[in-house]
Amino acid sequence: MKLVLVGTGYVGLVSGSCFAEFGYDVTCVDKDKSRILELKKGKCPFFEPGIEELLSKHRDQTKLLSFTSSLPEAMEGADIIFITVGTPSKRLEEDADLSAVWNVAKDIANNIKKYSLVVTKSTVPVGTTKEIKKIISKIVPKENFDVVSNPEFLREGSAINDFMRPDRIIIGADNEKSTKIMKELYRPLYLLETPIITSSIESSEIIKYASNSFLATKISFINQVADLCESVGADVQEVAKGMGVDKRIGSKFLNAGPGFGGSCFPKDVKAFTSSAKKQNINFSILEAVNSYNQNRPLEISKKIINLKKYNKNSKLALFGLSFKPNTDDIRDSTSLKIAQHLFDQGIMINCYDPVSNDNTMDLFPKFNFFKNAYEASEGADAIIIGTEWNEFRALNFLKLKSLMKNLVIFDLRNIYNKQELSDLGFEYYGIGK
Ligand SMILES: NC(=O)c1ccc[n+]([C@@H]2O[C@H](COP(=O)([O-])OP(=O)(O)OC[C@H]3O[C@@H](n4cnc5c(N)ncnc54)[C@H](O)[C@@H]3O)[C@@H](O)[C@H]2O)c1
């Protein structure tokens, strides 16, 4: 089978290299010529554990993976074309910006020469895949193509494992022929007994948004419980543990913190709410999740400032800039939103992230950047744990003690033990305790 993936971001590149690992002939396309040039040279445009090895294996050894900025060239003889471009929020609206999807749909339509399956892997609002079908059918006879929705659930930081060992595959199709092709595509996962769930195209599109929105709701729920815990002297980690052992609830996504961020949850919650609004459906739960989460970074930064009366003479060390560990993706990073609020009050920000310093520097040139956590802590009035990279769990606190001006830790990810740090002389503030 010959596959084409249009868009070489986290989803396109990871899916493309994993499909090559399945044994398919894969071409990844991007309109960004410099990105394609780098990929041809063997450089991955982002940090993702294991991706460099997989890319080089299939680009250089098996030759199953190639890159181009020309869609017509990529589509020569293609059986399945995946749309894997970004669908960010529109600038001032909740809606998803689908301009890249529409552009790709038109380009694909112009290049279909034999029967091809067009698959939306990008996260798109309900109705989009059928709209793509309409766009293509203006140019291509209906017997020459089908459209399918096949949303992606990989998580940055563990994307390869998530793709190779998914919890489920969702196939939203409107005929047997395309369902059969998609089932054949994912045949390598049958050995793992991966559930393959078939549905209508509309249900498939909603499954993706409903899943992400549900997880985001779980996070906001535990964050509100954390607020209550803080007020009454309870500990949200004890509460979450007691809740999580209930199999109906589950322990995942019950870690209280500074709010959800990243390239998916915030925009998907908004786009899902917007889809519901357009149908006059009451989605007040998600509206509340969105507004509470949007305010949370500001509330946390106010709390930090008020607790110690920080001002323009203060210097805070921020550890972790990416929206979560094991990625260099800083899109909608909560850690950086908090840093910006603190900076707006005149506080100096000393940053360190194991892989995201360079990305962040371009967007936040007024922060100070350091090569490691210790350098960032020199003369600092406090440390803020913004993202729970593993290396922050094993810091040398005696060394930090000798470098910092004031021994205060704001552990926004609850990775430390309060007693242990207090014993070392640190003033410790976690979330929800
Ligand atoms: N990042 C994730 O963890 C994740 C997980 C599951 C689903 N998704 C969804 O997958 C989609 C892609 O996300 P991403 O994070 O990989 O995006 P991304 O922003 O990292 O990459 C998108 C790529 O598409 C390219 N592109 C845009 N328009 C193009 C065009 N006309 N032709 C060719 N290339 C074009 C861009 O240059 C860019 O390289 C989104 O809908 C997202 O919601 C993302």
Query: In the predicted model, what is the mean pLDDT of residues 169-175?
Result: 98
Q: Which of 28, 229, 264, 351 is catalytic?
A: 264
Which atom in ligand 1 lies closest to the alpha carbon of residue 104? 31
3-state DSSP assignment of residue 302: helix
Is 264 tagged catalytic? yes
How much is the pLDDT for 171? 98
How much is the pLDDT for 430? 98
How much is the pLDDT for 80? 98
Which atom in ligand 1 lies closest to the alpha carbon of residue 13? 16
Q: Does domain 2-199 match CATH 3.40.50.720?
A: yes
Amino acid at 354: P
Q: How much distance in Å is there from the Cα of 100 to the middle of ligand 1? A: 9
What percentage of the chain reaches a pLDDT higher than 70?
100
Ligand 1 mutation pick, 85, 212, 324, max ligand atoms within 8 A of CB: 85
Ligand 1 mutation pick, 106, 263, 329, max ligand atoms within 8 A of CB: 263
Q: What superfamily in CATH does domain 200-433 come from?
A: NAD(P)-binding Rossmann-like Domain (3.40.50.720)
User: Which pLDDT band, with edges at 50, 70 and 90, does 168 fall under?
Assistant: very high
Query: In the predicted model, what is the mean pLDDT of residues 256-284?
Result: 97
User: Which pLDDT band, with edges at 50, 70 and 90, does 231 fall under?
Assistant: very high
How much is the pLDDT for 39? 96
| Domain regions of the chain by residue span | 2-199, 200-433
Query: In the predicted model, what is the mean pLDDT of residues 277-287?
Result: 97
Query: In the predicted model, what is the mean pLDDT of residues 58-87?
Result: 98
Q: How much distance in Å is there from the Cα of 151 to the middle of ligand 1? A: 12
Instruction: Give 226-235 contacts, CB < 8 A, sequence gap 24+.
Output: 226/256, 226/431, 226/432, 227/432, 229/432, 229/433, 230/431, 230/432, 230/433, 234/432, 234/433, 235/432, 235/433
Give the residue, by CA position, lying nearest to ligand 1 atom 12: 86
How much is the pLDDT for 192? 92
pLDDT surpassing 90 at residue 92 = no
200-433 matches 2-199 in CATH topology: yes
Using alpha carbons only, give the angle 8, 9, 15 rounded to the nearest 5 degrees. Answer: 75
Nearest alpha-carbon partner for 135 in 100, 166, 160, 110:
110
CB atoms within 10 A of CB 91: 6
User: Which pLDDT band, with edges at 50, 70 and 90, does 131 fall under?
Assistant: very high
User: How far is the C-alpha of 100 from the C-alpha of 106, rounded, in Å?
Assistant: 10
pLDDT surpassing 90 at residue 327 = yes
- Residues within a 6 A CB radius of ligand 1: 6-12, 29-32, 35, 84-87, 100, 103-104, 122-123, 152, 154-156, 263-264
How much is the pLDDT for 366? 97
Q: How much distance in Å is there from the Cα of 24 to the middle of ligand 1? A: 21
Ligand 1 mutation pick, 5, 8, 11, max ligand atoms within 8 A of CB: 11
Query: In the predicted model, what is the mean pLDDT of residues 317-321?
Result: 98
For 351-405, write each residue's pLDDT tens digit: 999 999 999 999 999 999 999 999 999 999 999 999 999 999 999 999 999 999 9
For 105-119, write each residue's pLDDT tens digit: 999 999 999 999 999
How much is the pLDDT for 93? 84
What percentage of the chain reaches a pLDDT higher than 90?
99
Q: How much distance in Å is there from the Cα of 88 to the middle of ligand 1? A: 9
How much is the pLDDT for 323? 98
pLDDT surpassing 90 at residue 91 = no
Residue 349 φ then ψ, to 5°: -115, 120
Q: How much distance in Å is there from the Cα of 371 to the middle of ligand 1? A: 30
Give the residue, by CA position, lying nearest to ligand 1 atom 4: 11
Query: In the predicted model, what is the mean pLDDT of residues 116-141?
Result: 98
Query: In the predicted model, what is the mean pLDDT of residues 8-31?
Result: 98
Nearest alpha-carbon partner for 80 in 130, 27, 35, 124:
27
**How high is the mean pLDDT of the chain?**
97
User: How far is the C-alpha of 201 from the C-alpha of 204, rounded, in Å?
Assistant: 5
pTM over 0.85: yes
User: Which pLDDT band, with edges at 50, 70 and 90, does 333 fall under?
Assistant: very high
Q: How much distance in Å is there from the Cα of 385 to the middle of ligand 1? A: 29
